[in-house]
Structure formats: C-alpha cells, structure tokens
C-alpha cells in the first residue's frame, strides 16, 4: 500500500519544527528532491517521502536499495542551531531509534556515528548532506516490511524482527515527533544531554573496533564519545585518538 500523508499529519505533534510533507511514488533519491527544494528556498521541516528510490544512496557513496513500498524512505530539510550542528549525526540516530521504539516497541542500539542496529544487524541508516548555506538534508531509510530473505547480509527489518507487517505512517510520525522534541529540548536545555543519550543507546562502547585511516587499518577499543560527538578510541599502544564522523570509511567490530 502506498503512503497516506493525511494519516501521518494527524499523528504529528505541533512543535518548533513545522513539518511540510510531500509524497513522490518514485524518485531517484529523496536526497536529490530535498536538495533541490532547499536550494529553491524551502524551509526547515520540508519533507519528502517515497515508495521507491531508483538511485538511493548511503554513506560513502554506497547504494541504498529497498523494494517498492517496503521501506520507510524520507529526507527532510533542517536548519540546526550552531551548537546542534556537530552533534546532528548523534541526535538524528537517537530520534530514529526513539521513533522506532515508540511506534513498534523494537529497541535498537546505535553504532557510531549513526547506524541503528538490532542484534548487530542494520535496521536503519542515516545520511546527512549539506547543499550549501545553513540547511542540512537528513535522509533516513528504515527497513520495515522486507522479508529476511530479501535483505542484504548484515541487515534486518521490522518484519524480520517482529514477524508482523507494519504501517510506515505511524513510524514516520514517531520519528519526526522525536526529532521536533529533541529540537525543543536543545532550545530549552542546550545540547549537553545528546552525548549521554547516545551513550545509553550505544552497543559499541568498551568493545574492540577497527577502522581505516589514510589507507591503514587502525585497531583499538571504542572508549567513549567526546563532548563534540567524536569517537574516542584507545589504540593498542595506549594512545587515545579522536575520530570524527565522515573521516573513517568502515568502522567495524574487531
Ligand atoms: C547509510 O549508509 O547508512 C545511510 C543510508 C541512508 C538512506 C536514506 S533512504 C532516504 C534517503 N535517500 C537516499 O538516497 N538516502 C537516504
């Protein structure tokens, strides 16, 4: 079934962000549509949802593929305050995991900077792009109704986890409501809660990790996050390095 925007609108809570929902049955990538809208002057909250992407993309130029009408695929334009901007990857992951939990009861964990996992399998991915100016395009893909057999290795879906087909409308509304709440909270309290919130949902702190930097594989233990959202990794020789999002190609358990 294709998406029912009225049903989503009815579930959205009014807050600082005014969501403007748009629907395209298919497109190259919702990121492209949101980028054009942002360049054309669309405001924060402009959001596009699709049933099928022909050229969906993930981080580091990887493709993001989902059969028609099975996944929640959307992009939204955000104008984050300067203090939120560096923490936006963590904030977005918290809101996606929070929305999934509210709408479905599935408790997901976070892998730095913003993969949403259940049992070490990827349930949702997040892509942040900067089209120029202050706008950021937040793209989210949640695997909803893909049967386990249709998923790439290392991925999972809400259907595979719960055994039930789920509507995408309440899921999108819950994610957007969580995001709007997070914005309001950052306004009221500042951003000090974002890193602790992320830590409490993380499945990777204290565990060995390996990542590529300047062509070399670096191994260590993911110790903590810095206040700026960087991952702090204790290397085998005892040094501690700070890794920023986007800098490493593949961060994996080691
Ligand atoms: C990742 O690599 O984990 C990020 C995946 C992001 C996928 C979403 S689906 C909606 C939006 N449109 C895209 O082309 N990508 C993002």
Distance from the alpha carbon of residue 128 to the mean position of ligand 1, in angstroms: 9
Nearest CA to ligand 1 atom 3: 125
What pLDDT, on the 0 to 100 scale, is given for residue 178?
Answer: 97
Q: Does the C-beta of 62 come closer than 6 Å to ligand 1?
A: yes
The predicted pLDDT at position 25 comes to 96
Whole-number pLDDT of residue 198 = 95
238 and 141 in a common domain: no
Query: How far is ligand 1, taken at its centre, from the CA of residue 179, in Å?
Result: 17
Is the same domain home to 117 and 233? no
Estimate to the nearest angstrom the gap between the alpha carbon of 115 and the chain centroid.
7
Predicted TM-score of the model (pTM): 0.95
| Number of domains the chain contains | 2
Residue 119 near residue 113 (C-beta atoms within 8 A): no
- The verdict on 189 and 212 lying in the same domain is no
Q: Select from 165, 181, 199 the last residue of a domain.
A: 199
The atom of ligand 1 lying closest to the CA of 64 is 7
Of 157, 140, 141, 138, which Cα lies nearest the Cα of 149?
157
The sign of the dihedral angle between the CA atoms of 197, 200, 203, 207 is positive
Mutate to test the pocket of ligand 1, among 54, 66, 73 (most ligand atoms within 8 A of CB): 73
Number of neighbours of residue 63 by Cβ within 10 angstroms = 11
Report d(CA 103, CA 195) in Å as an integer. Answer: 23
List all residues 6 or more positions away from 168 whose beta carbon is below 8 Å from its beta carbon: 3, 71, 72, 144
Based on the domain organization, do 210 and 192 belong to the same domain? Answer: no
Based on the domain organization, do 192 and 241 belong to the same domain? Answer: no
> Does 31 sit in the ligand 1 pocket, CB within 6 Å?
yes
Q: Is the CB of 56 under 6 A from ligand 1?
A: yes
Domain range spanning residue 224? 204-250
Counting from 1 in the atom list of ligand 1, the atom nearest the Cα of 74 is 10
CATH number for the domain spanning 108: value is 3.30.930.10
- pLDDT 10s per residue in the chain (254 long)? 779 999 999 999 988 899 999 999 999 999 999 999 999 999 999 999 999 999 999 998 899 999 999 999 999 999 998 999 999 999 999 999 999 999 999 999 999 988 999 999 999 999 999 998 899 999 999 999 999 999 999 999 999 999 999 999 999 999 999 999 999 999 899 999 999 999 999 988 998 988 888 778 888 999 999 988 999 999 989 999 998 876 665 667 66
Q: Are 142 and 44 in a shared domain? A: yes
Which among 154, 129, 132 is positioned nearest to 143, based on CA atoms? 154
Quote the CA–CA distance of 243 and 4 in Å, as a whole number: 41
pLDDT of the residue at 212: 80
- Same domain flag for 153 and 211: no
194 with 223, same domain: the answer is no
């Amino acid at each position: 079934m294709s998406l029912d925007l009225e049903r989503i609108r009815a579930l959205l809570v009014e807050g600082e962000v005014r969501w403007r929902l748009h629907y395209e049955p298919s497109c190259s990538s919702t990121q492209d549509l949101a980028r054009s809208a942002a360049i054309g002057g669309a405001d924060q909250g402009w959001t596009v949802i699709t049933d099928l992407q022909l050229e969906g993309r993930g981080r580091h130029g990887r493709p993001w593929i989902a059969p028609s009408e099975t996944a929640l695929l959307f992009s939204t334009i955000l104008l984050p305050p300067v203090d939120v901007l560096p923490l936006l990857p963590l904030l977005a992951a918290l809101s996606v995991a929070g929305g999934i939990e509210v709408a479905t009861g599935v408790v997901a964990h976070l892998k730095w900077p913003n993969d949403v996992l259940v049992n070490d399998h990827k349930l949702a991915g997040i892509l942040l792009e900067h089209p120029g100016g202050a706008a950021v395009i937040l793209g989210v893909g949640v695997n909803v109704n893909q049967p386990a057999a249709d998923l790439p290795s290392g991925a999972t879906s809400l259907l595979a986890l719960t055994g039930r087909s789920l509507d995408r409308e309440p899921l999108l509304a819950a994610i957007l409501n969580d995001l709007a709440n997070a914005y309001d909270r950052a306004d009221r309290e500042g951003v000090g809660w974002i890193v602790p919130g992320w830590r409490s949902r993380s499945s990777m702190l204290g565990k060995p990790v390996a990542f590529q930097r300047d062509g070399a594989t670096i191994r260590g233990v993911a110790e903590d996050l810095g206040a700026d959202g960087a991952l702090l990794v204790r290397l085998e020789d005892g040094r501690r390095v700070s890794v920023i999002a986007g800098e490493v190609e593949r961060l994996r358990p080691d």
